[in-house]
């Protein structure tokens, strides 16, 4: 079945390429072969080559914590992936990507599951979807950078672009949350959105039917473009048309097995009964698995490349200035565009160089003026200090002279006093001697 699906896809792709080539070359003439040549084995060659190379498929699961994203992934691929418990108290939304190598029959699949941890748990809801948008753009940018390399290796490049986005809607039975509408509106041009109602066994069938209608009505009224299963291929148009009418899928996930009759089936057991995961009367799990994996996996990969990635690539190249036509609507080669952008860049560089030079000259002039002004201020302060110093010096000289005069006067007074004191001492000695002589003469 897988080989048949791959062969059909590759034949359709090759036929489209041949149609393009024949359309471009109008002079090609159809010819009939008179015998077997062998190029009818080309689709088989492509199938074998693709099978040997393997395939990759990347799924983004968006939904609030505890809504059942990991359980549904385990149920979809019938295995147990590595799961981590998360709380409702994450400071910001984290995207956790895990890659696994799966093999079924002789087909190898590199599956990447990206889970949004803490989605919708923050007060600022804008940060919830912004992290998801940034992650998807980052994967597009990585692929674009690989494409733009001179020496590319796309044949062994791990393509991390998101091929399918399973958006998990809480089974409230009322309407979509504003965060759901805003997030899907931001993502519908970047990824293939497939809305699913998680834990669909918590509401009745009548409520579920009304809830589906309400969801689709809100998506249409808000202009949200979800992924529609393709109906242009006649081999799958009938089933895809029917499945488009079942969107959004109401799913139940479970890895536990319960014995029903004589066989074990994946189910959820409740006191009131058993919900079988793979019973289409109980939920849409089988429809989701059939549409996502068995029928439209290659279309999801192709839509990611030809629609979402091409839109991102075109916008990025236009931002860089690359265009296919000039203002006269004439084709422009990449070399011409590159040379034009190079000249524009050089002109802009010279203009900025001149602006920076002028700015530098202006700054130098301003700095010179500031330095001259500071020099004048310093000179003025120096003159003022010099004048104050001269005044203080004059005052000190006056005080020094006054002090010298006082010292001279004091010395003169001291000398006079010493002279008077000497004369007085001499007179007293003379008088004493006379008295002594007089006394001595009296006794004699």
Q: Is 171:211 a contact under the CB 8 Å cutoff?
A: yes
Separation between Cα atoms, residue 328 and residue 333, nearest integer Å: 14
- Are β-strands 257-260 and 263-270 bridged in parallel, bridged antiparallel, or unpaired? antiparallel
**The pLDDT of residue 21:** 47
**The pLDDT of residue 309:** 93
Report the pLDDT averaged over residues 249-277. 84
pLDDT in tens, 172-186: 878 888 888 999 999
- 231 plus 87 within the same structural domain: yes
Among 25-39, 80-94, 227-241, the minimum mean pLDDT is found in 80-94
Q: Considering Cα of 152, then 155, then 161, then 163, what sign does the dihedral take?
A: positive
Peptide bond into 248 cis (omega under 30): yes
- 203 plus 233 within the same structural domain: yes
- 196 plus 343 within the same structural domain: no
What strand order describes the sheet that includes 249-250? Answer: 94-104, 107-117, 55-62, 164-169, 193-197, 249-250
Report the pLDDT averaged over residues 259-284. 84
Q: Is 115:96 a contact under the CB 8 Å cutoff?
A: yes
- 284 plus 383 within the same structural domain: no
20 pLDDT band (50/70/90 cuts)?
A: very low
201 falls within a domain: yes
Report the pLDDT averaged over residues 190-205. 90
**The pLDDT of residue 18:** 47
61's tokens? 């699961």
Range of the domain at 390: 333-401
420 falls within a domain: no
**The pLDDT of residue 441:** 67
**For every residue of 378-414, which 3-state class applies, written as one string?**
HHHHHHHHHHHHHHHHHHHHHHHHHHHHHHHHHHHHH
Express as a percent the part of the chain with pLDDT over 70. 89
Q: Interhelix angle for 126-147 vs 310-319, to 10°?
A: 80
378 falls within a domain: yes
29 falls within a domain: no
Separation between Cα atoms, residue 359 and residue 75, nearest integer Å: 66
Q: Is the pLDDT of residue 348 over 70?
A: yes
- 245 plus 378 within the same structural domain: no
pLDDT in tens, 141-156: 999 998 888 888 887 8
- 361 plus 316 within the same structural domain: no
- Our count of domains for the chain comes to 2
**The pLDDT of residue 89:** 67
Q: Is the pLDDT of residue 436 over 80?
A: no
Q: Is the pLDDT of residue 333 over 80?
A: no
416 falls within a domain: no
**The pLDDT of residue 442:** 58
Q: What's the number of CA atoms in the CB half-sphere (13 Å) around residue 89?
A: 0
360 pLDDT band (50/70/90 cuts)?
A: very high
**The pLDDT of residue 25:** 55
Final residue in a domain of this structure, among 259, 291, 320? 320
**The pLDDT of residue 307:** 93
Q: What's the CATH number where 257 sits? A: 3.40.50.300
Final residue in a domain of this structure, among 294, 320, 346? 320
- 353 plus 228 within the same structural domain: no
CA distances from 374 to 92, 360, 365, 387 (A): 54, 20, 14, 20
Separation between Cα atoms, residue 424 and residue 430, nearest integer Å: 10
- 163 plus 247 within the same structural domain: yes
162's tokens? 């998101």
- pLDDT higher for 161 or 418? 161
444 falls within a domain: no
- 283 plus 390 within the same structural domain: no
pLDDT in tens, 233-260: 888 888 989 898 888 999 988 888 888 8
Q: Is the pLDDT of residue 14 over 50?
A: no
Q: Is 110:86 a contact under the CB 8 Å cutoff?
A: no
19 pLDDT band (50/70/90 cuts)?
A: very low
Final residue in a domain of this structure, among 320, 346, 363? 320
pLDDT in tens, 31-72: 888 888 888 888 888 888 888 888 899 999 998 888 888 888
159 falls within a domain: yes
User: Of all helices (H) and strands (E), which one includes residue 344?
Assistant: helix 334-443
Q: Is the pLDDT of residue 275 over 50?
A: yes
- 316 plus 356 within the same structural domain: no
380 falls within a domain: yes
- 308 plus 349 within the same structural domain: no
- 262 plus 346 within the same structural domain: no
Q: Is the pLDDT of residue 16 over 50?
A: no
pTM of this prediction? Answer: 0.70
pLDDT in tens, 289-331: 999 998 899 999 999 999 999 999 998 888 877 777 766 767 7
């Amino acid at each position: 079945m897988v080989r048949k699906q791959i062969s059909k896809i590759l034949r359709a792709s090759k036929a489209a390429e041949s149609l393009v080539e024949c359309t471009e070359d109008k002079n090609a003439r159809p010819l009939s072969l008179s015998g077997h040549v062998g190029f009818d084995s080309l689709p088989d060659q492509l199938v074998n080559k693709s099978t040997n190379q393997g395939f990759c498929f990347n799924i983004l699961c968006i939904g609030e914590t505890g809504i059942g994203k990991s359980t549904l992934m385990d149920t979809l691929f019938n295995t147990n992936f590595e799961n981590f418990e998360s709380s409702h108290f994450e400071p910001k939304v984290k995207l956790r990507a895990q890659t696994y190598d799966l093999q079924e029959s002789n087909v190898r699949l590199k599956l990447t599951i990206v889970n949004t941890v803490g989605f919708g748990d923050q007060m600022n809801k804008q940060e919830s979807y912004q992290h998801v948008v940034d992650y998807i753009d980052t994967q597009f940018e990585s692929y674009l950078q690989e494409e733009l390399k001179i020496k590319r290796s796309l044949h062994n490049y791990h393509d991390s672009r998101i091929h399918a986005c399973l958006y998990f809607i809480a089974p409230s039975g009322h309407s979509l949350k504003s965060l759901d509408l805003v997030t899907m509106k931001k993502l519908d041009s970047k990824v293939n959105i497939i809305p699913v109602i998680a834990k669909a066994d918590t509401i009745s069938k009548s409520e579920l039917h009304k809830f589906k209608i309400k969801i689709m009505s809100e998506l249409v009224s808000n202009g949200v473009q979800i992924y529609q299963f393709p109906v242009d291929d006649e081999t799958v148009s009938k089933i895809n048309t029917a499945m488009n009418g079942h969107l959004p899928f109401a799913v139940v996930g479970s890895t536990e097995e319960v014995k029903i009759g004589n066989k074990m089936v994946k189910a959820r057991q409740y006191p009131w009964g058993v919900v079988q995961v793979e019973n289409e009367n109980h939920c849409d799990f089988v429809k989701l698995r059939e549409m996502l994996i068995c029928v439209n996996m290659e279309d999801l990969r192709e839509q990611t490349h030809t629609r979402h990635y091409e839109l991102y690539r075109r916008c990025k190249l236009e931002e860089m200035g690359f265009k296919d036509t000039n203002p006269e609507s004439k084709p422009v080669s990449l070399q011409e565009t590159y040379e034009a952008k190079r000249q524009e860049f050089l002109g802009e560089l010279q203009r900025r160089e001149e602006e920076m030079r002028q700015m530098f000259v202006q700054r130098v002039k301003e700095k010179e003026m500031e330095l001259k002004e500071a020099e004048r201020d310093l000179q003025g302060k120096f003159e003022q200090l010099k004048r104050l110093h001269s005044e203080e010096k004059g005052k000190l000289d006056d005080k020094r002279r006054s002090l010298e005069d006082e010292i001279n006067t004091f010395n003169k007074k001291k000398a006079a006093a010493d002279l008077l004191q000497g004369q007085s001492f001499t007179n007293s000695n003379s008088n004493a001697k006379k008295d002594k002589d007089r006394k001595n003469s009296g006794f004699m």
